[in-house]
Structure formats: structure tokens, C-alpha cells
Structure 1
């Protein structure tokens, strides 16, 4: 098997790459990285010294591919499947890339700020930064709710790279910063994502690790049976 994906099952960016792989039934091997274990982390750091996951290694091509968006585009170029993650139309492709970046930068990043601050040692927390992250999610949610009006998926009728980015980002963000009651388009979109088989599989594989999630106490009950 040529492809190896280095992941952690709780990492939202890892879910993004997994969803794309599952959408196309692409064969790969996953390796869970334990950053608390030097031997486990060493295998990843040898491939990508930055140490961020996920990282894809293609043994046949002797290539290491980091960064989720690049991983998904690499898979489409070299291991295409029945469900393209980037549209062939140039304008539609640009929109998919735009909303992919939006979900990564304006949902995942502030969500991770809120989550990681909870596990910081006393005296080193950043309440101002956390408040900024909550405000950023308010803005992002309002924009997504508007974008989803009249659309099934992030950019239209087709499930794309942008929806891979949205699925896990919104799953975890909705726990740490729930949607407003009037954001019906956003809530319906997340509900559709959570019914998608590829998304259900990625989140289902993470379920045994939910106890490690710093906001496990705030998880809606229905998230435990997806």
C-alpha cells in the first residue's frame, strides 16, 4: 500500500483529510501519532520536521505531502476517485478553495484557540485571546449561515474540499461555541454533514478518544452516537 497518513483521531484537520479519502474509497494506511511518545513522534518528524498533522507519505512516489488542502489536491491529481473534491469549472473551483480556507482559518483556528486554552496551566491562560476567538466564531457563523441559504453544500450542489474542511471544524466548534438560535441554515448544514457516511466514519473513529477532549462535558448527547 503506497499511501500512509499520519494522524491523531481527535484532530479536526486530520478528519478533513480522512473524509476526502473515505469519499473516494482511497486505499491508505493510517498511523496514529502520540506526541507524548518520542518513538511515535519520531516517525512523523522524520517525514515532516514541523511536526504538524496530518501528513501524507506516498511510498511509490517517495514524496511527503503536508497540509490538508494540499493533501486533498494531491490525492485528486494522483489518486482520483469517483467524487472529485475540486470542481472542474474554474470559478466553482475557486469558490471551493475560498471556503476551504474560510473553514480552516475562521472556524478551526479560533475553535482550537478556545480548546487549547482550557488545558493551559493556571497562570498562563489567555482570556483576552479566548474572547477574541469567540467573537471570531460569531462572525464566521453569521457568514456561513448566509452562504448556506439556498445551498445544500458549502458552494452548491456538490460535496467538495470545502465541505471536508467544514465537517470537523463545525462539529468541534459547535461544542465550544454553540450556534445562535436563528442560524437555521448553519444548523441544517451541520446536520447534513453529520449524516454523510464519510463524516460519520471519521467521527465514529474518534469516539473512543472523546474522553481526552477538553470540552467533553459540553458535548451534546447526540454527538456520542454519530
Structure 2
């Protein structure tokens, strides 16, 4: 398999999932600014939408969209408990979290990275993101992981998105449950390995 990624982008989530699952893969750098692969290939030829992540299977099949990709990865290594079995209520709870992170958090961060976004709108976005994250903080009360006793692919996704907070001026220091949770996720060997591979930590 090949994972097309850009350092620190949302592709960090499947990068973590692949390492947690123990699956063999080749990471391929696909910078979101230049869209040029290391061999000179135009990334738009691989993914016409131009963004990461993209997972290319060994038979050439390509999967887009992080929440779909991480569930595929989890299902290749069911013994790792990265996702509950398909068809169970627990699986729908996982999907509930993946959708929430993708639509209520991930998409809210996007405009904060753009210099074209007006400052007053950025302030509104920060306020909304903080309100959503305060809700997450409450949900983490008494929980080690988002979906129960096992680390799941939703945890890797939430960690990835929350990692952008400092860059966009979002202060999470008052959210004690979330802070402790992010420390737990960040200490996992697979997470550390993904961060190092992307040059995000030494």
C-alpha cells in the first residue's frame, strides 16, 4: 500500500492508523502547496481533488477521505481493536465520532489557515471550535479513549486535528480532560513514530 501524505496535515491520522495496525505501507510525500511528488509527478494525476490523504492499495485501487481510509485500515487488522466490528452499534458510535471530528472540527480549522480569511470571521470560527472542543472535553470525563476501552482510529483523527490548535491560536489549556487525553495519545509509540516520520518531532 501507499499512503500519500503531507506533514502535519489530516493524513497524519491514517499514518498513525497504519502504524498502529502494523501494516506494511510506503509513505509518499504529496505537499499540499506544490502538489508535486518527489519523482516530479503532478499529484493531481493521482488525486484530481489535490488533497491528502489518499491510500493506494496493492492492486492500484485508490481510497480517498480520511474517515473511510482509517476504517479500511482498521478492518485489515481486526485483532488490533482499532474499530469495532461492522454492523454493531459500537461501530456506528465510532462513525459518529469520525463524522463529528470531520465536519464539526476539521472543516472549522481549514479557513483559519488561510491568510485570505477575514480576521473577524476567524474569531467567530475560533469561538465555535472552542465550544465544540469544550463539549469533547466533557465527553472525555472518566474516559481513557473516545469509544471505550480501546484506542481507535477516531482517537488518531482527533489528536491530528487538535494538533493544529497552537498554529491557529486556539487555547485548549483550560480543558483538562482533553489535555490529559492528548498527552495519552501523543505518548503512544505508533503516534510518536508517525510524528517523527513526518518531521513533526525530533
Q: TM-score, normalised by structure 2?
A: 0.87
Q: Partners of 1:30 and 1:200 in 2: how far apart?
A: 16
Question: What stretches of structure 1 of length at least 5 have no aligned partner?
Answer: 209-223
Partner of 1:213: none
CA RMSD of aligned residues (A): 2.2
Of the structure 1 ranges 131-140 and 28-37, higher mean CA displacement relative to structure 2 is found in 28-37
Q: Partners of 1:201 and 1:162 in 2: how far apart?
A: 18
Partner of 1:218: none
Distance change (3 Å), C-alpha of 1:76 and 1:43: farther
Q: Secondary structure at the match of 1:133?
A: helix
Of the structure 1 ranges 45-54 and 199-208, higher mean CA displacement relative to structure 2 is found in 199-208
Q: Partners of 1:44 and 1:84 in 2: how far apart?
A: 33
Q: Partners of 1:19 and 1:110 in 2: how far apart?
A: 22
Question: What stretches of structure 2 of length at least 5 have no aligned partner?
Answer: none
The question of whether the paired residues in 2 share the 8 Å contact of 1:25 and 1:81 is answered with no
Distance change (3 Å), C-alpha of 1:179 and 1:31: same
The question of whether the paired residues in 2 share the 8 Å contact of 1:100 and 1:163 is answered with no
Give 1:168-207 correspondences, 5 Å limit: 168-175=160-167, 176-181=169-174, 183-207=175-199
Partner of 1:14: 11
CA deviation after TM superposition for structure 1 residue 51, in Å: 1.1
Q: Partners of 1:39 and 1:184 in 2: how far apart?
A: 40
Please, which of 73, 81, 92 is the counterpart of residue 75 of structure 1? 73
Please, which of 107, 126, 131 is the counterpart of residue 139 of structure 1? 131
The question of whether the paired residues in 1 share the 8 Å contact of 2:35 and 2:44 is answered with no
